[in-house]
Amino acid sequence: MKFNTKTIHGGQHYEPATGAVMPPVYQTSTFAQTSPGQLISGYEYSRGGNPTRTALENALASIENGARGLAFSSGLAATDCVLRMLKAGDEVIAMDDLYGGTYRMFTRVYKDSGIKFHFVDMNDIDRLKSLFNENTKLVWAETPTNPLMKLADIEAIGKITKDKGVLFAVDNTFATPYIQRPLDLGADIVMHSATKYLGGHSDVIAGALIAKEEQLGEQLHFLQFATGATLGPQDSYLVLRGIKTLHLRMQRHCENGQKIAEYLASHPNVKKVYYPGLENHPFHDVAKKQMQNGFGGMVSFTFNSGAKADAIKFLEKVRVFTLAESLGGVESLANHPAMMTHASIPENKRKEIGITDDLVRLSVGIEDADDLIADIEQALL
């Protein structure tokens, strides 16, 4: 099955009892048994499994080409589940440019866990290799990154982790499987904030893990079941409905993203545009290699003046774009990373990685590109 068919049919069947084409929202915590331990259709208690969640999990496995999908109550709950596979003494190698909440979890929640985290620019493959030792258990990458659109070469890193026998997880939130499928390129686990493009309508908080191998999926399912951050049936239904139009939405996100990146790059008030689809993007070659069908809907930029005041003025003036955190919905959003999404990263660290005070991040939606560009034009005046 091709991707555009999988988003709609992958792992799905009509509901056997009634023929309902969409899975009912099984709003139930528990399931009757005919005799102790004799289950009617395999379901026992909804933390362990619920048919609406199963429908979503099968769709997730299908679109990412994995053996097992798992749906969580948030993206961070999904990330936390992966970290629970580790123990004191283990080491993790992570990208030096991560979603702020992921960085906060690694550096603060797991601070006294005995697990050691190394943060590295993964484009420096020699430096990356030098950080492996017998305690290394996990490599965590995000590509493209938030908000600077740095890339990591998934295939190159996957070769190293395979060689070293270390788990490799990729946060695929920004690209989605419409654009890149990390499990096909050598990753073992894909993580999503399904709050973003998979859900696609800014109406649900949800997360996902997809394991390449069944055994790894089973291990993660045990941890999810035993710690409890599962996605409820109503929210599972919403994410599943979102996935059915993922390919159509992503196509427009990519088209609009490219147009807006090119418009910004030609604007006299704009200094730098961060978008992997621009030829002068420092990782455009990696982007062309591992991203297909386009380069996504996330675009960041800075001002020629370098002034924070200009960024704030822009964000106050936009009308079609809404000033808000989050991304990946059908509507366009604009955000000031230093004061909003990335405020949890200490200022000196922010400056070091390039999250300057004049940086604006756009989540380009699926509206008419002319209206979006006109909005940006009036806000840049």
Transcribe 166-187 into DSSP letters.
Answer: -EEEEE-TTTHHHH--HHHHT-
Q: Which is nearer to ligand PLP, 54 or 173 (CB)?
A: 173
Q: Which long-range contacts does 373-376 make (Cβ < 8 Å, 24+ apart)?
A: 373/259, 373/260, 373/263, 374/320, 375/318, 375/319, 375/320, 375/321, 376/260, 376/263, 376/264, 376/318, 376/321
* Cβ at position 202, least distance to ligand PLP in Å: 12
* Cβ at position 246, least distance to ligand PLP in Å: 16
Q: How far apart are CA 8 and CA 204, in angstroms?
A: 19
Q: How far apart are CA 209 and CA 68, in angstroms?
A: 8
Closest-approach residue to ligand PLP (CB): 75
- The answer to whether the beta carbons of residues 17 and 10 sit under 8 Å apart is no
**H helix or E strand, kind and range, residue 193:** strand 189-193
Tokens 């939606």, located at residue: 365
Transcribe 143-169 into DSSP letters.
Answer: SS-TTT-----HHHHHHHHHHHT-EEE
* Cβ at position 15, least distance to ligand PLP in Å: 28
Judge whether 196 counts as a catalytic residue.
Answer: yes
Judge whether 274 counts as a catalytic residue.
Answer: no
The C-alpha torsion from 118 through 124 and 125 to 130, rounded to 10°, is: -50
Q: Which is nearer to ligand PLP, 189 or 380 (CB)?
A: 189
Q: Which is nearer to ligand PLP, 31 or 253 (CB)?
A: 253
Q: Which is nearer to ligand PLP, 240 or 379 (CB)?
A: 240
- The answer to whether the beta carbons of residues 60 and 206 sit under 8 Å apart is no
* Cβ at position 95, least distance to ligand PLP in Å: 11
Judge whether 47 counts as a catalytic residue.
Answer: yes
Which one is catalytic: 26, 43, 99, 197?
99
- The answer to whether the beta carbons of residues 173 and 192 sit under 8 Å apart is yes
The C-alpha torsion from 270 through 276 and 278 to 279, rounded to 10°, is: 130
* Cβ at position 25, least distance to ligand PLP in Å: 20
* Cβ at position 81, least distance to ligand PLP in Å: 12
Q: Which is nearer to ligand PLP, 102 or 256 (CB)?
A: 102
Which one is catalytic: 47, 137, 241, 244?
47
Q: Which is nearer to ligand PLP, 169 or 379 (CB)?
A: 169
Q: How far apart are CA 15 and CA 17, in angstroms?
A: 6
Terminal-to-terminal C-alpha distance of the chain = 48
Judge whether 97 counts as a catalytic residue.
Answer: no
Tokens 């709050």, located at residue: 195
Beta-ladder partners of 254: none
Q: How far apart are CA 38 and CA 297, in angstroms?
A: 49
* Cβ at position 70, least distance to ligand PLP in Å: 14
The residues that touch ligand PLP, with contacts defined as CB under 6 A, are 74-76, 99, 101-102, 142, 146, 171, 173-174, 193, 195-196, 205, 207
Q: Which is nearer to ligand PLP, 48 or 101 (CB)?
A: 101
Task: Kindly report the length of the chain.
Answer: 381
Which one is catalytic: 80, 171, 188, 375?
171
Which one is catalytic: 196, 249, 252, 361?
196
The residues annotated with a catalytic role in the active site are 47, 99, 171, 196
